[in-house]
Structure 1
Amino acid sequence: MGEFVRLEVADGVGTIRLDRPKMNALDAQVQRELIEVAREADARDDVAAVVVYGGERVFAAGADVKEMAGMSYQEMVRHAHLLQDFTRAIAAIGKPTVSAITGFALGGGCEVALSTDLRFAAENAKLGQPEILLGIIPGAGGTQRLARLVGPSTAKDLIYTGRFVDAQEALAIGLVDRVLPAEDVYTEAVA
């Protein structure tokens, strides 16, 4: 178990629980812990399905921009590989996976959600790939996974503009599979 990411198992369902105050920013430590926990969930015989959950208020607000600000070019290259590794680890879980999204799922947080088989969003969810507003593009497989889900044109719109979509628009474009009251998202994902 990591400091910010843990695996909770009950009744055959493993919950990958993000818990890094205050917005579940995905710094390098969280990304490494996600890799470890995803591999553990995949390997455990008592886990038949996996839910990724950030808590009642926020799924994950994306990369830790403060951490990235001081990085050299070489450090950014290593960081980009780590970004890809943690989303690949989630996508490689050989069991059904569901993201239970409340609040923000932005940037890397959205890419975590894109790495699961299904996405259940709370009515208060906001999803997006705002990296372009920082002069970069999604680097953890988001460009490919997003285009497969919503089509190339809609993916380009979201990536080029950096705009957020609410839960209802996300459902309409195929980015999420269900929209539920916030208090029901996790329960329905586990069911």
Structure 2
Amino acid sequence: MKKTPTYFLFDIKNNTAYITVNRPDKLNALNTLVLKELSEILITLEANEDVRGIILTGAGDKAFVAGADIKEFQEFSSDEAWQLSKSGQEEVMDNLYTFPKPVIAAINGFALGGGLELAMACHIRVASEEAKMGLPEVSLGIIPGYGGTQRLPQLVGRGKALEMIMTGDPIDARDALQWGLVNYVVSQKELISTCERLLERIYQRSNMAISAAIRAVNIGLMEPEKGYEEEMDAFANAFDTPDFQEGVAAFLEKRKPNF
């Protein structure tokens, strides 16, 4: 990073970028400045060839991100609210969702509203046993604005998503695991190490193939009619890459590939 982040703790170790939302006194709530800074961090990390994956979490042991900074909403007009939703989705949530390197959300506490939307934009979610997740926006007379109405049904199905959105009630980590909202539930002390082990396994595979797979999966979800075509193209294009040559050679020589 060219400058020290204001709202984040940031570190890079062993090809992994650690991004920690650092507003524990506000339960790591999102506002426009936090989202802008996160967008800048993601742009930097995408261009950094030394970074192969990201772990995103929140400071402290109470919250991943407890939601948006509601005080910021008070004076917004509908036009300003629309622009907030648009910029948040396009510059942060969509960027995370389509990020060409694996991003794991380490959900260490409350992930509510925009916090859950942030976690759902990541590729994989690991939750601590104490975590609680929900979209309580209807309690404020609004609805989720950072992709929650679209990504939650993809993960838990239409019925459970509508229940969570319409009641606004959070669910605990075990229910989140049962419904497919998170991949793993672990103790708080094992949270980051579990994410690190997942990334270590991913790092043994081809970066190129992983990026292509992320893109193919995302296109299939966002534009189902184009998903199979994207998969066929990516599959074929892989045959012209050094990673394919190395992967096949390693398989035939009964050794680990050197990607």
Compute the TM-score of the two structures, normalised by the length of structure 2: 0.71
Distance across 2 between alignment mates of 1:169 and 1:75 = 35
- Residue equivalent to 1:48: 52
Question: What is the 5 A alignment of 1:1-191?
Answer: 1-22=4-25, 23-57=27-61, 58-85=63-90, 86-191=92-197
Distance across 2 between alignment mates of 1:41 and 1:152 = 34
How big is the shift at 1:130? 0.5
Distance across 1 between alignment mates of 2:177 and 2:170 = 13
Deviation readout 1:56-77 (Å, 9 max, x if unpaired): 4110011100111122222212
Task: Identify which of structures 1 and 2 has the higher relative contact order when contacts are C-alpha pairs closer than 8 Å and 6+ apart.
Answer: 1
Deviation readout 1:43-68 (Å, 9 max, x if unpaired): 21111111111134110011100111
State the one-letter code of the partner of 1:156. L
Deviation readout 1:114-162 (Å, 9 max, x if unpaired): 0111100000000000011111111111111111111111111111110
Regions of 4+ moved over 4 Å: none
How big is the shift at 1:6? 4.4
Deviation readout 1:50-106 (Å, 9 max, x if unpaired): 111113411001110011112222221221112212111211220111100011000
Contact 1:16/1:38 (CA < 8 Å) preserved in 2?
no
What secondary structure is seen at the aligned counterpart in 2 of 1:138? coil
Distance across 2 between alignment mates of 1:82 and 1:122 = 30
State the one-letter code of the partner of 2:84. H
| Greater gyration radius | 2
What secondary structure is seen at the aligned counterpart in 2 of 1:127? strand
Contact 1:28/1:82 (CA < 8 Å) preserved in 2?
no
Distance across 1 between alignment mates of 2:47 and 2:67 = 27
Distance across 2 between alignment mates of 1:36 and 1:136 = 28
Q: Give me the CA root mean square deviation.
A: 1.2
Compute the TM-score of the two structures, normalised by the length of structure 1: 0.96
Unpaired stretches in structure 1, ≥5 consecutive residues: none
Q: Higher mean Cα deviation, 56-65 or 165-174?
A: 56-65
Count of residue pairs brought into register by the alignment? 191
Distance across 2 between alignment mates of 1:181 and 1:55 = 16
Unpaired stretches in structure 2, ≥5 consecutive residues: 198-259
Q: 1:131 to 1:146 in 2, by over 3 A?
A: same
Distance across 1 between alignment mates of 2:39 and 2:94 = 8
